[in-house]
Amino acid sequence: MADEAKKKKWRMHMIDEVRGLAVVCMIFYHALYTVGFMFKVKWGVDIIDKLMPAEPWFAGVFIFISGMACNLSKSNLERGVKLGIIALGVTLVTYFFAPDFLITFGILHMLSICMILYGLIGKYLLIIPIWLGAILNVLIFTLLIGTQDGTFGVPYLIAWEFPKEWYSTNFLFIFGFPNKSFVSADYFPLLPWVFMFFCGAFIGRLIPKKKLPKWMAKKHIPPLAFVGRHALLFYLAHQPLIILICYLVKWVMAMFMQTEPQ
pLDDT tens-place string over residues 202-224: 999 988 777 677 767 677 788 99
User: pLDDT tier at 81 (50, 70, 90 boundaries)?
Assistant: very high
Closest CA to 105 of 36, 38, 176: 176
Split at pLDDT 50, 70, 90, the class of 10 is low
Residue 32: which of 18, 17, 52 has the closest Cα? 52
Residue 262 has pLDDT above 60, yes or no: no
Buried b (16+ CB within 10 A) or exposed e, 135-146: eebeebbebbbb
Nearest to 201, CA basis, from 136, 155, 246, 104: 136
- Specify the DSSP element, H or E, that contains 152: strand 151-154
The confidence band for 186, taking pLDDT boundaries of 50, 70 and 90, is very high
**Rounded to an integer, what distance in angstroms lies between the CA atom of residue 67 and that of residue 84?**
16
pLDDT of residue 260: 53
> 163 or 15: which carries more pLDDT confidence?
163
pLDDT at residue number 165: 94
Measure the CA–CA gap between 144 and 30, rounded to whole angstroms.
26
pLDDT band (50, 70, 90) for residue 6: very low
Confidence grade of residue 157 (pLDDT, cut at 50, 70, 90)? confident
Residues 6+ away with beta carbon under 8 Å from 177:
147, 162, 166, 167, 169, 189
Average pLDDT over residues 115-139: 96
Question: For the purposes of burial, counting CB atoms within 10 Å of the CB of 101, is it exposed (0-12), middle (13-18) or buried (19 or more)?
Answer: middle
- Given a cut of 50, whether residue 258 has pLDDT beyond it is yes
Looking at residue 3, its pLDDT comes to 44
Assign 4 a pLDDT band (cuts: 50, 70, 90). Answer: very low
Say which DSSP state 40 is in: -
In 3-state terms, what secondary structure has residue 171? coil
Task: Say if residue 92's pLDDT is above 70.
Answer: yes
> Rounded mean pLDDT of 57-66?
93
Instruction: Report d(CA 90, CA 236) in Å as an integer.
Output: 8
Quote the CA–CA distance of 222 and 230 in Å, as a whole number: 12
Which whole number is the average pLDDT over 8-22?
78
CA distance 31 to 251: 17
